Every structure is written in C-alpha cells, then in structure tokens.
Structure 1
Amino acid sequence: MSEKLSISYHTAKRILLELLEDNDFSTDEDILKILGSVVQKETREPDGDEYSLSRIIIDKEGRVFLPDYSSMEIKMPYLPKTVFIFFLIHDEGIEFKSMYNYVHELYEIYQVVALEKNTEANKIKRSLDNLVEPVNNRIYETCSIIRRNFSVVIPEPLMEMYCITGKRGEKHQIKIDRSLIRIENAKLKGMFDTLNSI
C-alpha cells in the first residue's frame, strides 16, 4: 500500500468529489482526521516562511519537474514548454516585442522538447513566427498555458516565482533563483551556462 498511484490532480479531485458525494464518511475516524487537518491547514494564515521553493529540473529529454512539490512531470504543449525554458535561460528578462530577435534560439529549444515527435521544420518555424509577431497576443496566451500547468503543483503564493511575469511593454522574466535550476540536457545546459556566466 506504500506505492502511490500516479494520476493527475484533476482526476484525483473528481474521484474524491464523487466519493464524498456518494458515500457517508461522517463515521470514518481516519477520513475525519485527515479532513480536519486539511481544513486547519487551509484556515491557518500563511506567514511567508510556510512555503519553500522547489528546484526546477529539466531532464535529458527536456521534461520539466519540480521535485520538491511533486514527482510528476509538469506536462505542457511544446510551444509553452519552449517559451518557459527560453525565459529560464534568459535570467535578465526579455521584452516580448523583441522576441523576434531570438527565433533561432527558440527553434533550437523547440527541437529539444519536441524531439520524439520529429516535427516538420516549417511547422515549427510558422508556430514560432506567429509567437513572436508583435501585433498578436500569442505570447500572452502561451504564458497563460504555462501558468495553468504549473498551478497544479505550485502553492499559489509562489506562482510569481515560476511563471513569466512583467508589465506590458517592459521586460518579462522568471524570478526564480538560478541556483535552483538543474538542466540535464546537454544542448540546453550549454545555452543556459553561456548566458548565465556573463
């Protein structure tokens, strides 16, 4: 019974809600104890020290993990994952309107994260050209997808540390301390080390 099932947060939530609706757990002492401790934790006022930051690990296949919050991979489509890794690499921050200057670098990252799919080069290029086009909102939609995928495991008060933030027209960046990032993919690590050693 020590092995944990690997199911998504949303699936677990749905199952739990169905169980609570369809069954009377009001006499089960174990369940009441757990529910009581959850309610206590939720109602306690967080003092800021209650939450600690997780490391970010990008493995050899370009998969994203926050091991101090969850053992499950933070799954997201290739384009949002590419953008997330791009901003992790660029500690200094980048203005969205100047991202067209980095299309080649975005392409290199996309190739790593989409390796197993062997996506057609022209399709990647069209997707990236659309992303960096200053007149559309594709980059904001992409940042929204990243935030939504991270919200499954990151405590709400710490979301700003892991997501791409910034004011419109100014530099956007991921605020997390770079000492918490470990990149195992050789190509991505080379890009990260080059930019973060300057």
Structure 2
Amino acid sequence: MQIHLVRDADYPEEEHYEVLDFLTAFDGPVWFTGNASPRPLDEDAVHEEEFEEREFFSMVNFSRKLSEHCLEAPSFPVQRRVSTWKELFRSAAAYRRKQRVPPTDLVLLLTPVANELNWFCALDPANPNNGFIHTDEWEHYVHCSGTFPVVYHVVALALQRALFGSIEALQDGLHRVPLGCVNDFCRHKPEVILKLRTADVCLDCMDDLRGRLDAPVLEQLLNILEGVRTRMLFNQNFRQGRKPSALRITAAGRIFLPDYGNIEIRLTPLEKTLYLFFLQHPEGLHLHDLVDHRAELLALYGRFATSGMLAEIHNRVESLVNVRSNSASEKIARIKAAFVKAVGRDLAAWYFIRGEVSDVKKIHLEPALRTIDGGSQM
C-alpha cells in the first residue's frame, strides 16, 4: 500500500515534512510519499467566511475540555478560508492523474483551508482512494503540535477506506457516541480529544479490520496510532517516572527512541556526527581531545554530509576540533535542545552530551540501550 500526502500550497513545507518524517519512522509494508511541488486550490472555489460560536463548537462540551487541557478558546467570530468538498476532492484527483498514481493508492490532500461541512477529514464518495485532511485550527482542541492529529487522521482515513466501501457504509459505521475509536464521528469537534488520546480501535471495528487488511499493514498502522498517543502525552507533560528508552540508530544515521512512540531526534549532519562520535565513546572525553580523533569525526561526517565540497567538509570538522572555536559547544547545546524538545528535560538528561566545563563530556545512557540496525550494540 502507498499513501501520497499532497501538500496544498498554503500548507507550510516544514509541517509537511514533519508529518512525513513521523509516518516514515514506522517500518512496514505501507509507504508514505509527499509531492515535490504544491498544487494551489482553485481560488474560485474558496471563500472567506465567519464562523459564529454556535456553529464552531458545542460550547457545553468545549468548556469542560478547556478546563481539563488548558487550551485557549478562539475569539469569535472565527475568520477563515473555506473550500467546497468538490474542489478538495478535485485537487486530489488532479494530482492522481498528473502523477499517474496507481488506482489502488491512497491520495490525501493536506490543506489548512477549511471545508464547507467543517469536517476534520473525509474520503471522496465518488472515489474513496482520494481524500483530504484539514491541517489547521488544532490549537483549539489539543495542547501539542498539529503534526500529531494530522498523522492520526492519515491513519484513520487509511483504516476507514478498508472498512467502508461507500459513503452510506461510512455513515452507518461511524460511532455517534464517542468510544475513543478512530471511527468516532465527533459531531461536537472537541470530542476529538478522546480518540486522539486513546489512539485506539474498538473491538467491533478491529474484528472487521482483521478481515480486510493484511496483518503487517494493520500492525504498522496501529503502531503509528500508538506513536501519536505517546508523543501527545510527552508534549502534554504526562511523562513523569518513565524509564529511559532504548536509542536506535538506523544505517542512514536516523536517531529514534523506540520505547517512546518511536520519536525521531532530528539533528543536522554535523550535530549527528558529534553525537554518534560520543555514542561510540561511552567512557567520554574532554572537548580539547577531539583533535586527536579528527580522522574518526571526518569519516562520520562523510557519511552524513549531504552537500559541500571535500575541502568544505574538512573545514567544518577542523572547526569542530579546534579548541579556540566554539563549534563543538554549540553543537552540544543544540543536541540537548533537540532531546529536551522531544521528551522533556528530565528524560533528555539520559541522552544528551553533558559534563562540567572542565570535565569529561559523555552520554549517560547505558551502552546496552544503544543499538544500531541489525541488533548490535554501539
């Protein structure tokens, strides 16, 4: 199965990449790809609209959710751009034709433009292999990055495509009373919090899915949902008392925390070079001793550098090992910031490079938890 995530021109490229990075961190038979060039919506099918409070939320439920999750209520009336379902599905279909996407692949348009029925996402009744996801306004529902609910709905639409063959079957199969299942309808939009936090599939829906999806496909999609749940908990500060996760390094040098929802730690090539160097030296060392390991650092950086002439690569490593340069200290600070952002300050302390100014710098995660692809320890 392949799922194409088509970025509307109004959807920020960085957020698009974050969604793709999250999805591709989970191994399995489902492939996720993104479009190289954005496709703008037809402006004739998009209009400005004001949404009043009574239309936007069920405020009885929303007030309760607001107090539970410390969200900020929107200022009404809400100004936003709105498109027709017909135009959103037409955009996905046009991409399918232009790129000659196989008929069974799923094409999903990711757009911050709202839709006339105010849905989070939907599949095209005329062709359920096309669909859209509304990427905006998540700050009104969840206290975390909008990447997570977008990823959630990518998986939800993939599961619903397998479960429901028509719009009539979808309408009959959706849960009008929320259960914490991907098929909750969420007529009152704040109810989406429940299914995002449970990231679950109810027993009845699971029984139906087992007969409609191959086991490896279903396992991968469920693993992604669990990853969403875990990442949202970390972002909402529900992470006290957790033990350190294993640290997995792929052959390409991507860094994951598999026990924390497969969170990926994104570093620049030079930051990655320094980090992997310290992983390979669990005893630690002083920064002024980096110069003695110039060749090892150069070999690592050669694996990860995606651009630059050979002389430029050498110069960057020379700056890293130069005791009169602040390059190594800057990289260590940025590595720390990446881990703190991902898992919070307490858990991050297991992973980043630390030590007093005049002392040995090291990573305190025990070597048994450091692995590379294939199961070997670093």
- What is the TM-score normalised by the length of structure 1? 0.70
Compare the two structures and name the one with the higher helix fraction.
Answer: 1
Which residue among 158, 161, 164 is the counterpart of 2:353? 164
Number of residues paired by the alignment?
A: 165
1:7 Cα shift?
A: 7.2
What is the rounded CA distance, in whole Å, between the counterparts of 2:69 and 2:299 in structure 1? 47
- Alignment deviations for residues 40-62 of structure 1 (CA, whole Å, 9 cap, x no partner): x85x9x5xxx1111111110111
2-structure distance, mates of 1:133, 1:24 = 58
Q: Which has the higher contact order (CA 8 A, sep 6+)?
A: 1
Alignment partner of 2:69 out of 13, 31, 35: 35
Q: What is the aligned partner in structure 1 of residue 44 from structure 2?
A: none
Deviation, structure 1 residue 33: 8.3
Q: Does 1:100 align with 2:279?
A: no
Query: Counterpart of 1:148?
Result: 337
Cα 1:7/1:79, change in 2 over 3 Å:
closer
Answer whether contact 2:263 2:342 (CA < 8 A) is retained: no
More deviation, 63-72/94-103: 63-72
Which of 240, 255, 260 pairs up with 1:64?
Answer: 255
Q: Any unmatched runs of 5+ in structure 1? A: 10-21, 193-198
Give the gaps of 5 or more residues in structure 2: 1-14, 20-52, 71-196, 198-232
Structure 2 counterpart of 1:135, which letter?
R
Q: Deviations over 1:105-137 (max 9, x none)?
A: 0111112223xx254221111001111111121
CA shift at 1:184, angstroms? 2.3
**In structure 2, C-alpha distance between the alignment counterparts of 1:145 and 1:177, rounded to whole Å:** 22
State the structure with more CA Rg. 2
Q: After superposing the two structures, state which structure 1 stretch, 26-35 or 101-110, moved more.
A: 26-35
Matched, 1:81 2:81: no
Q: Which residue of 2 aligns with 1:138?
A: 327
Residue identity in the other structure for 2:61 = D
The one-letter amino acid of 1:86's match is: F
Match of 2:129 in 1: none
CA pair 25-139 structure 1, distance change in 2 beyond 3 A: farther
* TM-score, length of structure 2 as denominator length: 0.39
RMSD, matched Cα: 3.4
CA–CA distance in structure 1, aligned partners of residues 288 and 59 of structure 2: 56
Q: Percent identity?
A: 24
Matched to 1:148, the amino acid is A
Contact 1:100 1:132 in 2 (8 A): yes
Does the alignment pair 1:112 with 2:303? yes
Q: 2: distance between equivalents of 1:101 and 1:146?
A: 22
Q: In structure 2, give the amino acid aligned to 1:82.
A: T
Amino acid at match of 1:60: A
Q: Counting strand residues as a fraction of each chain, which structure ranks higher?
A: 2
> Residue by residue, what CA displacement relative to the aligned partner does 1:69-124 show, whole Å, maximum 9, x if unpaired?
2334311111111111111110000100110001100111112223xx25422111
SS at match of 2:371: strand
Distance 1:86 1:143 in 2: 12
Question: What is the CA–CA distance in structure 2 between the aligned matches of 1:140 and 1:118, rounded to whole Å?
Answer: 23
Change (3 A) 1:6 1:156: farther
Secondary structure of 1:73's counterpart equals strand
| Contact 2:278 2:363 survives alignment (8 Å) | yes
CA distance in 2: counterparts of 1:26 and 1:144, whole angstroms: 43
Say if 2:291 is the partner of 1:123: no
Deviation at 1:181, TM superposition (A): 0.9
Partner of 2:60, secondary structure, is coil
Q: 2:295 is matched by which residue type in structure 1?
A: H
Counterpart of 1:18?
A: none
Contact 1:54 1:180 survives alignment (8 Å): yes
Measured after TM superposition, the shift of residue 152 of structure 1 is 2.3
